[in-house]
């Protein structure tokens, strides 16, 4: 009888190895069809019309000129009277070519009555919210008793998701059924309530997304453009492709809230942190605002006080952005802590190691910090704040630690073993590029003792068994558990069928490298093909249902990880340019299914982190209320030359593997901002308090002497 | 990129912006010297459009006849008319490189070239470099070094890298960093990509 538990290290044929992603060839050759690539017969192209005003009343929308343009087939406009940010969609047109649709969108005449707007997020006095408060211990008393009290002000701006594939979908109403190909992180639940919005029965909606070009937390729902596409398709009787233009994508399709904070740290002479007080503010645009956690990770600091308030601004609404609120909490906390270490004239690594007892996983952080330090040659390179070497280029090291949950989500998976020996796994999950398909393949193939190519993995359709949305690093745990449960159940059903042929009980059977054999008498065996042939005409299908609580008890999956990163940077004090020389990450995530794609997650997170540390910021003009850099030239992403040398160390083996699978997408993107900013402070001797660390900010701080002068 | 400079464009507007963004649908002979379009231009007295004009594009070794308005970019012609969707529309402004194709073996942003300009040139899209079953060395190296995640930027990078390694068969990491600055990735696949490009260069790409 096959057991559900993960196999021991010496029994793993595939799990934990470096395995190429199975859809790699499709992607590398352009054969992978993303939602944006779906071209349906007789399809129309839709373009949206957006508000140029940050806040306005729409007094009229005249679509007559657009409708009169030859080739225009459908028009939609909003009935809402108020637009609350520049870039908000007010109308849409559908036409036989993309060019005609663009032209028609320009012909839609919208009259606005501009209203007062507010897009500034840096001034806490602009908040109209009642501040949230969180108190622990006696902060005021703790500060009076502290040997050292260090105060600082730090900030991390609004950044966007900037998914390379924009939001949107192809929608087709056909025979009363609605077919949607959205770019989504949430195949199984994407269409929840879309039926209502589009006037279709919910059970007549079919969603498919085989490949999607990035979501990072911004693509869970059908959004405003979902029903617009469906209604235009309904109106015209034709399929409609509606994917956002880049500028609209950047203004409307999600962003990460900003966070600015005044932070006060109390510490003993030996470096022990005793008190943390923080006043945080920021904006989630038209969305809500929850203050990031401070102190981050060091949650056992006995005396803490956190006051948070949101500033409602006329900007697009915030969405989950890879590890919601953690990069902000991490940057603010770790910056203040590094400044405290510097004020105490303590080595930063020593200071962090001293305080790991104030975290939930002291041993993990200790191990990871030491590994990261070795990887970057910390002992040789480290120096107190302020690179003493002459010349304009100053070099420094900085570090940070982080945490994330990453417990697998509910997931259902069907595994079918066919009489010809072929195997199929089906689940309504999605592969965001994390390697979900590959992970499912590895788990099912490992469970059935088969090579990878023997398993066909079918994901990306809402008609398959439901699986959770891919957010919060919940996918790898969820699909690993459900596919393991399904494959094990299917295998045991096969054992039941063939046991009598091998003159033994199903309980005595095992599968090893394509052979089913008696555990205590391995020569009594038959090949996988022979065994499956005995099924006659009846394929075996078994459902695996991942119940997170139960799977955690069974150690199939778990939640909660650490992670440590150290950055090595150079700063040119004449130009203000920050260069990443090297960055290292030590990261745990329980049992690793595919080491190669796991490492890619961490490399990718370091790079995304370097990007938001050095380049990214949604810049808004206070006067016009518009985003000034809603394109990819001025909303800059790091290029290949910007990222330096990266080293990733995945924690494996004892202490990690036996926990089961834990999610990995979010954690490594949390620390880079803090680690890089701390490295810059270490290089310069003064703190550049706000991300991104652009040349102008560096120069401005150097001119003033910084906040630790 | 084509480094042809159009002196006739209005100040402050790119030629592409001028032609595409403002819906100007005519093409003057001075702009280009294609072969198939020639007849239409001769017939129409040197100006065609704003309606559709016949164009023959040689793509991946095949002549493809299509009818497009002069304002249609090569990218949109490939994706929307010919269903060659490997090249992606991301920035649509010549910044990110996701739409990169080869024009006479040179990497070109297909969002910044009009389809009518591409007539008479040899265009190779990602689909012309290999198939999942028969990948070129760059594609194999991208898979092996996991130089892709969501994969949306990947075709553009593969095309750019193919041109790059043909030109730099002994590419060093420094050359890779300098030579592939015209493409952007959001998932952060540069670490694998650097290894992939050096690896592919070593193996050689025809």
| Percent above pLDDT 70 for chain A | 99
| Percent above pLDDT 90 for chain A | 99
**pLDDT computed for residue A705 by the predictor:** 73
Class of domain A325-405+559-704: alpha beta
Comparing CB atoms, the residue among B84, B86, B146 nearest residue A596 is B146
Comparing CB atoms, the residue among B126, B139, B186 nearest residue A162 is B186
Q: What is the mean pLDDT of chain A?
A: 97
The answer to whether the Cβ–Cβ distance between B96 and A32 falls below 8 Å is: no
Task: Give the largest Cα separation in chain B, rounded.
Answer: 54
Query: What is the DSSP code (8-state) at residue A407?
Result: P
The answer to whether the Cβ–Cβ distance between B148 and A27 falls below 8 Å is: yes
CB neighbours of residue A382 within 10 Å: 17
CB neighbours of residue A201 within 10 Å: 11
Question: Residue A222 phi/psi, 5° resolution?
Answer: -80, -20
Beta carbons of A459 and A187 less than 8 angstroms apart: yes
> From the centroid of its chain, how far is CA A522?
46
Rg of chain B, C-alpha, whole Å:
18
Report the distance separating Cα B154 and Cα A394, nearest Å.
35
Q: Is the pLDDT of residue B34 over 60?
A: no
The answer to whether the Cβ–Cβ distance between B184 and A37 falls below 8 Å is: no
**pLDDT computed for residue B22 by the predictor:** 41
Set of chain B residues whose Cβ sits within 8 Å of the Cβ of A216: 186
Domain ranges of chain A: 9-32+408-553, 35-116+167-243, 325-405+559-704
pLDDT digits (tens, 9 = 90+) for A598-650: 999 999 999 999 999 999 999 999 999 999 999 999 999 999 999 999 999 99
Least confident span in A270-284, A677-691, B18-32: B18-32
**pLDDT computed for residue B1 by the predictor:** 37
Set of chain A residues whose Cβ sits within 8 Å of the Cβ of B155: 27-30
**pLDDT computed for residue A280 by the predictor:** 98
Collapsing DSSP to helix, strand or coil, B48 comes out as strand
The label of the residue with tokens 């959770």 reads A468
Q: Categorize the per-residue pLDDT at B23 as very low, low, confident or very high, splitting at 50, 70 and 90.
A: very low
How close, in Å, is residue B148 to chain A by CA atoms? 8
**pLDDT computed for residue B35 by the predictor:** 52
Report the distance separating Cα B95 and Cα B187, nearest Å.
17
Cα of first residue to Cα of last residue in chain A, in angstroms, is 69
Comparing CB atoms, the residue among A20, A164, A633 nearest residue B153 is A164
B54-B58-B59-B61 Cα dihedral, nearest 10 degrees: 150
Comparing CB atoms, the residue among A165, A603, A638 nearest residue B192 is A603
Cα of first residue to Cα of last residue in chain B, in angstroms, is 21
Report the distance separating Cα A177 and Cα A200, nearest Å.
8
b/e per residue B136-146 (b: at least 16 CB within 10 A): bbbbbbbbbbb
pLDDT digits (tens, 9 = 90+) for B88-135: 999 999 999 999 999 999 999 999 999 999 999 999 999 999 999 999
Domain ranges of chain B: 15-127, 137-203
Looking at A69-164, which runs of residues are DSSP E strands?
Answer: 72-77, 82-83, 89-95, 109-114, 132-136, 148-156, 159-160
Q: Which residue of B has its CA nearest to A160?
A: B186
**pLDDT computed for residue A528 by the predictor:** 98
* Cis previous bond, B50, omega within 30: yes
User: What is the residue-wise DSSP string for B170-181?
Assistant: T--HHHHHHHTT
**pLDDT computed for residue B36 by the predictor:** 64
Set of chain B residues whose Cβ sits within 8 Å of the Cβ of A579: none
pLDDT digits (tens, 9 = 90+) for A155-175: 999 999 999 999 999 999 999
Report the distance separating Cα A673 and Cα A334, nearest Å.
9
The answer to whether the Cβ–Cβ distance between A33 and B191 falls below 8 Å is: no
Looking at the domain B15-127, which fold is it?
Ubiquitin-like (UB roll) (3.10.20)
Q: Categorize the per-residue pLDDT at A129 as very low, low, confident or very high, splitting at 50, 70 and 90.
A: confident
The answer to whether the Cβ–Cβ distance between B144 and A213 falls below 8 Å is: no
Comparing CB atoms, the residue among A106, A607, A631 nearest residue B91 is A631
Mean pLDDT of the region A16-40: 98
List Cβ neighbours of B17 (8 Å cut-off, separation of 6 or more).
none
Closest Cα to residue A448, out of A490, A506, A502, A414?
A490
Q: Which residue of A has its CA nearest to B158?
A: A28
pLDDT digits (tens, 9 = 90+) for A464-478: 999 999 999 999 999
Q: Which residue of B has its CA nearest to A166?
A: B90
Looking at A428-480, which runs of residues are DSSP E strands?
Answer: 455-458
Beta carbons of A680 and A617 less than 8 angstroms apart: no
b/e per residue A210-243 (b: at least 16 CB within 10 A): bbbbbbbbbbbbbbbbbbbbbbbbbebebbbbbb
**pLDDT computed for residue B50 by the predictor:** 82
CATH code for residues A9-32+408-553:
3.30.365.10
**pLDDT computed for residue B44 by the predictor:** 75
* Cis previous bond, B109, omega within 30: no
Pairing of strands B122-124, B53-59: parallel
pLDDT digits (tens, 9 = 90+) for A466-514: 999 999 999 999 999 999 999 999 999 999 999 999 999 999 999 999 9
> From the centroid of its chain, how far is CA A267?
34
CATH entry, B137-203, from 3.30.450.270, 1.10.3230.20, 1.10.150.120, 3.40.50.980: 1.10.150.120
CB neighbours of residue A495 within 10 Å: 22
**pLDDT computed for residue A654 by the predictor:** 94
How close, in Å, is residue A211 to chain B by CA atoms? 8
Set of chain B residues whose Cβ sits within 8 Å of the Cβ of A631: 91, 93, 95
Within this chain, domains A9-32+408-553 and A325-405+559-704 share the same CATH topology: yes
Mean pLDDT of the region A80-101: 97
CATH code for residues A35-116+167-243:
3.90.1170.50
User: Helices (DSSP H) in A194-245: which residue ranges?
Assistant: 194-198, 225-236
Q: Which residue(s) pair with A179 in the sheet?
A: A172, A206
Report the distance separating Cα A125 and Cα A674, nearest Å.
26
How close, in Å, is residue A36 to chain B by CA atoms? 8
The answer to whether the Cβ–Cβ distance between A28 and B158 falls below 8 Å is: yes
Mean pLDDT of the region B141-152: 98
pTM for the model: 0.95
Q: Is the pLDDT of residue B17 over 70?
A: no
The label of the residue with tokens 């969501």 reads B150
**ipTM attached to this prediction:** 0.97
pLDDT digits (tens, 9 = 90+) for B35-62: 567 677 777 777 877 889 999 999 999 9
């Amino acid at each position: 009888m096959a057991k559900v538990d993960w196999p021991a290290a010496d029994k793993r044929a595939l799990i934990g190895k470096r395995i190429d992603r199975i859809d790699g060839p499709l992607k590398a050759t352009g054969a992978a069809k993303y939602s944006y690539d779906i071209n349906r017969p007789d399809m129309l192209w839709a373009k949206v019309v957006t508000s140029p005003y940050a806040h306005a009343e729409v007094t009229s929308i005249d679509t007559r000129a657009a409708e009169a343009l030859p080739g225009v087939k459908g028009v939609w406009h909003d009935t809402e009277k108020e637009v609350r940010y520049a870039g908000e969609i007010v109308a849409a047109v559908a036409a036989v070519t993309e060019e005609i649709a663009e032209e028609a969108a320009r012909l839609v005449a919208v009259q606005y009555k501009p209203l007062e707007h507010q897009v500034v997020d840096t001034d806490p006095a602009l908040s109209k919210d009642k501040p949230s408060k969180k108190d622990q211990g006696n902060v005021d008393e703790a500060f009076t008793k502290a040997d050292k009290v260090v105060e600082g002000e730090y900030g991390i701006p609004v950044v966007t998701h900037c998914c390379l594939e924009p939001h949107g979908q192809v929608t087709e109403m056909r025979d009363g059924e609605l077919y949607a190909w959205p770019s989504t992180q949430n195949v199984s639940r994407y269409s929840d309530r879309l039926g209502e919005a589009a006037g279709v029965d919910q059970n007549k909606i079919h969603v498919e997304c085989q490949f999607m070009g990035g979501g990072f937390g911004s693509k869970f729902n059908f959004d405003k453009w979902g029903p617009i596409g469906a209604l235009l398709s309904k109106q015209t009787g034709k399929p409609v492709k509606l994917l956002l233009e880049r500028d609209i994508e950047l203004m409307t399709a999600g962003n990460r809230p900003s966070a600015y904070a005044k932070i006060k740290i109390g510490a003993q002479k030996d470096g022990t942190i005793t008190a943390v007080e923080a006043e945080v503010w920021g904006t989630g645009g038209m969305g809500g605002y929850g203050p990031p956690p401070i102190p981050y990770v060091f949650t056992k600091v006995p005396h803490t006080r956190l006051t948070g308030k949101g500033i409602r601004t006329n900007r697009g609404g915030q969405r989950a952005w890879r590890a919601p609120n953690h990069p902000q909490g991490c940057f603010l906390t770790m910056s203040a802590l590094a400044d405290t270490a510097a004020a105490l004239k303590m080595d930063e690594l020593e200071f962090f190691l001293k305080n790991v007892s104030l975290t939930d996983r002291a041993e993990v952080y200790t191990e990871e910090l030491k590994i990261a330090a070795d990887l970057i040659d910390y002992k040789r390179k480290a120096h107190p704040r302020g690179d003493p070497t002459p010349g304009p280029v100053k070099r420094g090291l900085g570090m940070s630690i982080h945490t994330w949950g990453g417990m697998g989500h509910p997931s259902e998976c069907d595994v079918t073993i066919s009489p010809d020996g072929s195997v199929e796994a089906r689940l309504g999950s999605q592969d965001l590029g994390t390697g979900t398909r590959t992970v499912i393949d590895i788990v099912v193939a490992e469970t059935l003792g088969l090579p990878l190519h023997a398993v066909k993995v079918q994901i990306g359709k809402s008609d398959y068994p439901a699986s959770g949305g891919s957010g919060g690093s919940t996918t790898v745990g969820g699909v690993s558990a459900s596919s393991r449960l399904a494959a094990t159940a299917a295998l045991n059903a096969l054992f039941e069928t063939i046991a009598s042929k091998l003159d033994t009980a199903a309980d005595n059977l095992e599968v090893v490298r394509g052979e089913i054999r008696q555990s205590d008498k391995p020569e009594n065996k038959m090949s996988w093909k022979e065994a499956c042939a005995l099924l006659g005409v009846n394929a075996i299908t078994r459902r695996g249902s991942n119940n997170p609580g139960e799977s955690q008890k069974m150690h199939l999956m778990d939640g909660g990880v650490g992670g440590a990163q150290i950055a090595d940077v150079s700063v040119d004090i004449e130009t203000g340019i920050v260069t990443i020389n090297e960055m290292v990450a030590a990261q745990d995530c329980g049992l690793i299914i595919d080491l190669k794609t796991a490492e890619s997650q961490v490399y990718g997170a370091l790079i995304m982190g370097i990007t938001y540390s050095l380049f990214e910021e949604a810049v808004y003009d206070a006067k016009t209320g518009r985003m000034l850099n809603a394109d990819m030239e001025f909303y800059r992403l790091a290029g290949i030359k910007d990222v330096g040398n990266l080293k990733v160390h995945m924690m494996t083996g004892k202490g990690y593997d036996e926990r089961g699978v834990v999610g990995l997408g979010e954690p490594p993107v949390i620390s880079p901002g803090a680690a890089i900013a701390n490295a810059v402070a270490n290089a310069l001797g003064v703190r550049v308090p706000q991300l991104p660390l652009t040349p102008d900010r560096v120069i401005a701080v150097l001119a003033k002497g910084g906040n630790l002068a | 990129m084509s480094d042809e400079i159009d002196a006739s464009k209005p100040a402050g507007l790119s030629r592409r912006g001028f032609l595409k963004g403002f819906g100007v649908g005519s093409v003057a002979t001075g702009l280009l010297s294609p072969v198939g379009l020639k007849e239409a231009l001769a017939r129409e007295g040197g100006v065609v459009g704003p309606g559709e004009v016949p164009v023959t594009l040689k793509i991946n070794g095949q002549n493809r006849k299509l009818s497009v308005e002069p304002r249609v970019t090569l990218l949109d012609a490939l994706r929307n008319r010919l269903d060659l969707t490997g090249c992606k529309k991301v920035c649509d402004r010549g910044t990110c490189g996701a739409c990169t194709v080869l024009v006479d073996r040179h990497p070109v942003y297909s969002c910044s070239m009009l389809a009518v300009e591409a007539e008479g040139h040899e265009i190779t899209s990602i689909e012309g470099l290999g198939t999942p079953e028969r990948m070129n060395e760059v594609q194999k190296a991208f898979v092996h070094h996991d130089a892709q995640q969501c994969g949306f930027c990947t075709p553009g990078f593969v095309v750019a890298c193919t041109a790059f390694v043909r030109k730099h068969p002994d590419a060093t990491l420094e050359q890779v960093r300098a030579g592939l600055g015209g493409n952007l990735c959001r998932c952060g696949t540069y670490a694998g990509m650097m290894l992939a490009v050096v690896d592919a260069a070593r193996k050689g790409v025809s």
